[in-house]
Amino acid sequence: MFTPLHNDMAAALAELRAQQAKIADALGRVGEVTASAATEDRMVTATVDGRGRLTEIALAGRRWRDLAPGELAARVVDVVTRAQDKAAEAAASAVAGLMPEGIDLDRLRDVGPELSTMVAEAVDEAGRWGR
Protein backbone atom coordinates (compact mmCIF):
# COMPACT_ATOMS: atom_id res chain seq x y z
CA MET A 1 0.00 0.00 0.00
CA PHE A 2 1.35 3.38 -0.98
CA THR A 3 1.05 6.46 1.17
CA PRO A 4 0.03 9.87 -0.19
CA LEU A 5 3.61 11.05 0.38
CA HIS A 6 4.95 8.17 -1.69
CA ASN A 7 2.47 8.97 -4.47
CA ASP A 8 3.48 12.64 -4.40
CA MET A 9 7.14 11.68 -4.53
CA ALA A 10 6.57 9.28 -7.42
CA ALA A 11 4.72 11.99 -9.35
CA ALA A 12 7.49 14.49 -8.65
CA LEU A 13 10.12 12.02 -9.84
CA ALA A 14 8.15 11.31 -13.01
CA GLU A 15 7.94 15.06 -13.69
CA LEU A 16 11.66 15.43 -12.98
CA ARG A 17 12.49 12.65 -15.45
CA ALA A 18 10.25 14.21 -18.10
CA GLN A 19 11.88 17.62 -17.65
CA GLN A 20 15.34 16.07 -17.75
CA ALA A 21 14.47 14.35 -21.04
CA LYS A 22 13.19 17.64 -22.51
CA ILE A 23 16.34 19.49 -21.43
CA ALA A 24 18.60 16.75 -22.80
CA ASP A 25 16.72 16.86 -26.12
CA ALA A 26 17.03 20.65 -26.30
CA LEU A 27 20.74 20.52 -25.50
CA GLY A 28 21.13 17.91 -28.23
CA ARG A 29 19.50 20.29 -30.70
CA VAL A 30 21.87 23.03 -29.55
CA GLY A 31 24.76 20.66 -30.24
CA GLU A 32 23.57 20.32 -33.83
CA VAL A 33 23.45 24.07 -34.44
CA THR A 34 25.81 25.59 -36.97
CA ALA A 35 25.75 29.12 -38.28
CA SER A 36 27.68 30.93 -40.98
CA ALA A 37 28.28 34.50 -42.02
CA ALA A 38 30.12 36.03 -44.94
CA THR A 39 31.40 39.40 -46.01
CA GLU A 40 29.22 41.20 -48.51
CA ASP A 41 31.61 40.28 -51.32
CA ARG A 42 31.81 36.65 -50.09
CA MET A 43 35.57 36.98 -49.73
CA VAL A 44 35.52 35.69 -46.13
CA THR A 45 33.08 33.12 -44.76
CA ALA A 46 33.06 31.75 -41.20
CA THR A 47 31.10 28.87 -39.69
CA VAL A 48 30.66 28.23 -35.97
CA ASP A 49 29.01 25.48 -33.92
CA GLY A 50 26.23 25.77 -31.34
CA ARG A 51 28.72 26.88 -28.71
CA GLY A 52 30.04 29.62 -30.97
CA ARG A 53 33.35 27.88 -31.63
CA LEU A 54 34.87 28.50 -35.04
CA THR A 55 34.67 25.32 -37.12
CA GLU A 56 35.52 26.65 -40.56
CA ILE A 57 36.85 29.74 -42.22
CA ALA A 58 37.08 30.17 -45.98
CA LEU A 59 38.86 32.80 -48.03
CA ALA A 60 37.50 32.95 -51.57
CA GLY A 61 39.58 33.90 -54.57
CA ARG A 62 42.85 35.76 -54.31
CA ARG A 63 41.66 39.30 -53.64
CA TRP A 64 42.16 38.85 -49.90
CA ARG A 65 45.93 38.78 -50.56
CA ASP A 66 45.76 42.42 -51.64
CA LEU A 67 44.21 43.54 -48.35
CA ALA A 68 46.26 45.06 -45.58
CA PRO A 69 46.65 42.56 -42.70
CA GLY A 70 44.55 44.73 -40.39
CA GLU A 71 41.74 44.99 -42.93
CA LEU A 72 41.68 41.24 -43.51
CA ALA A 73 41.74 40.62 -39.76
CA ALA A 74 38.84 43.05 -39.26
CA ARG A 75 36.78 41.21 -41.88
CA VAL A 76 37.53 37.86 -40.27
CA VAL A 77 36.57 39.13 -36.82
CA ASP A 78 33.36 40.65 -38.21
CA VAL A 79 32.16 37.47 -39.93
CA VAL A 80 33.09 35.25 -36.98
CA THR A 81 31.21 37.56 -34.60
CA ARG A 82 28.13 37.61 -36.83
CA ALA A 83 28.20 33.81 -37.15
CA GLN A 84 28.49 33.51 -33.35
CA ASP A 85 25.52 35.84 -32.90
CA LYS A 86 23.44 33.72 -35.29
CA ALA A 87 24.46 30.53 -33.47
CA ALA A 88 23.55 32.05 -30.11
CA GLU A 89 20.09 32.99 -31.42
CA ALA A 90 19.56 29.49 -32.83
CA ALA A 91 20.71 27.90 -29.57
CA ALA A 92 18.38 30.12 -27.57
CA SER A 93 15.49 29.14 -29.87
CA ALA A 94 16.27 25.46 -29.31
CA VAL A 95 15.76 25.82 -25.57
CA ALA A 96 13.04 28.48 -25.62
CA GLY A 97 10.34 27.73 -23.10
CA LEU A 98 12.41 25.21 -21.17
CA MET A 99 14.85 27.37 -19.31
CA PRO A 100 14.00 30.05 -16.78
CA GLU A 101 15.14 33.53 -17.70
CA GLY A 102 18.73 34.24 -16.76
CA ILE A 103 20.04 30.67 -17.14
CA ASP A 104 23.55 30.56 -18.61
CA LEU A 105 23.25 28.06 -21.48
CA ASP A 106 27.02 27.53 -21.72
CA ARG A 107 27.21 26.69 -18.02
CA LEU A 108 24.23 24.33 -18.31
CA ARG A 109 25.90 22.46 -21.18
CA ASP A 110 29.04 22.14 -19.09
CA VAL A 111 27.13 20.60 -16.16
CA GLY A 112 24.83 18.46 -18.32
CA PRO A 113 26.53 15.15 -17.43
CA GLU A 114 26.62 16.16 -13.76
CA LEU A 115 22.90 16.96 -13.90
CA SER A 116 22.13 13.52 -15.34
CA THR A 117 24.16 11.85 -12.61
CA MET A 118 22.51 13.97 -9.93
CA VAL A 119 19.00 13.09 -11.15
CA ALA A 120 19.86 9.39 -11.42
CA GLU A 121 21.19 9.40 -7.86
CA ALA A 122 18.08 11.22 -6.61
CA VAL A 123 15.84 8.65 -8.30
CA ASP A 124 17.83 5.78 -6.77
CA GLU A 125 17.68 7.40 -3.35
CA ALA A 126 13.93 7.96 -3.66
CA GLY A 127 13.49 4.32 -4.61
CA ARG A 128 15.18 3.26 -1.40
CA TRP A 129 12.79 5.45 0.61
CA GLY A 130 9.82 3.77 -1.01
CA ARG A 131 10.81 0.29 0.12
Q: Give the per-residue pLDDT at 36.
A: 97
Spatial contact of 31 and 106, defined as CB atoms under 8 Å apart: no
* Tens-level pLDDT at each residue, the chain (131 residues): 567 777 788 888 888 888 888 888 877 888 888 999 999 999 999 999 988 899 999 999 999 999 999 999 999 999 999 999 999 888 888 877 776 676 666 666 666 556 666 666 666 666 665 55
Quote the CA–CA distance of 70 and 75 in Å, as a whole number: 9
* Residue of 54, 72, 70 lying closest to 62 (CA atoms): 72
pTM of the complete model: 0.64
Residue-range domains of the chain with CATH: 4-129 (3.30.1310.10)
